[in-house]
């Protein structure tokens, strides 16, 4: 497990975007070899998406041979609703890059049979050869995707009831009106993300500091589902200084020391390759 600590949100977003860019370029995708990328929504990845769009527009990165799988979608919210995750992804990312719409996979929260939709999503991931890199964010309660506290750490894509903390946190996107916030969602499971060959989790802001502490310094616990990724062979937590406020000083020093070693080997902020 790696913990990468950057000074602020902008640098954390840039580091994450350059890491994704490097992974895609080094993979050298083509018509018979697609790069599979898992993607999150929410406020945290917006800076990363802006940087990826910038690299694409600069000619450094193409998504022509990339397949994406999003983590989650609300149930019952129309696809064209401004707060649906379909709208979020297309407005903030997909419409600005050269991805084939058929290769951008997002769960359908209005499907006739939601369980069939979830099973089909898992099948599509398997058919694509699994996820090469799954990028995620977390909530203040340590949930990843909509795997709320108490979720099984081997769970697969399924229907979930949202915790009240999540509904309250999402109310800002619905004019602060709790009655407008969806209470259910389709989400990939913790096990679904764990199956990815590599996982990168973005954690920024002081309000996520306790969750990062639980993810890094305490044991694996289904009440903090992000902690499961301690057991993944290739996990990178990317955070800003504010998110480290609950960590021990020696923990921060340890991981910052490792960063100096990694930076000499490969530093996304200085080594991004050109096409």
Residues identified as active-site: 72, 141, 143, 148
Q: Where are the beta strands (DSSP E) in 96-218?
A: 104-105, 133-137, 158-161, 184-187, 199-203
Alpha-carbon distance of 115 to 56, in angstroms, equals: 36
- Asked if 162 and 184 touch (Cβ cutoff 8 Å), the reply is yes
Residue written as token pair 């909509």: 146
Partners of residue 203 on adjacent β-strands: 239
List, edge to edge, every strand of the sheet that includes 158-161: 72-74, 184-187, 158-161
Q: Is 244 exposed, middle or buried (0-12, 13-18, 19+ CB in 10 A)?
A: buried
Alpha-carbon distance of 3 to 259, in angstroms, equals: 8
Between helix 46-57 and helix 9-27 the angle, nearest 10°, is 50
- In this structure, what token pair is assigned to residue 137? 């964010």
């Amino acid at each position: 497990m790696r913990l990468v600590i950057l000074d602020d949100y902008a640098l954390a977003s840039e580091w994450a975007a350059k890491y994704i860019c490097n992974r895609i370029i080094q993979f050298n995708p083509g018509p018979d070899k697609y790069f599979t990328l898992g993607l999150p929504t929410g406020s945290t990845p917006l800076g990363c998406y802006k940087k990826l769009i910038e690299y694409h527009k600069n000619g450094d990165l193409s998504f022509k041979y990339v397949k994406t799988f999003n983590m989650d979608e609300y149930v019952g919210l129309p696809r064209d609703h401004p707060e649906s995750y379909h709208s979020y992804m297309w407005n903030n990312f997909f419409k600005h890059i050269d991805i084939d719409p058929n290769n951008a996979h997002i769960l359908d929260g209005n499907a006739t049979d939601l369980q069939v939709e979830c099973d089909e999503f898992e099948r599509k991931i398997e058919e694509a050869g699994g996820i090469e890199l799954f990028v995620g964010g977390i909530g203040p309660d340590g949930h990843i995707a909509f795997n709320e506290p108490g979720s099984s750490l081997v769970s697969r894509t399924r229907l979930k009831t949202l915790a009240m903390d999540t509904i309250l946190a999402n109310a800002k996107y619905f004019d602060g009106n709790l009655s407008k916030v969806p209470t259910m969602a389709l989400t990939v499971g913790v096990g679904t993300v764990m199956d990815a060959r590599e996982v990168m989790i973005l954690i920024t802001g002081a309000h996520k500091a306790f969750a990062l502490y639980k993810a890094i310094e305490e044991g694996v616990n289904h009440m903090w589902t992000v902690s499961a990724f301690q057991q993944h062979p290739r996990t990178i937590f990317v955070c800003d200084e504010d998110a480290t406020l609950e960590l021990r000083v020696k923990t921060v020093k340890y991981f910052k020391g490792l960063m100096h070693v990694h930076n000499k080997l490969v530093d996304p902020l200085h080594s991004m390759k050109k096409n």
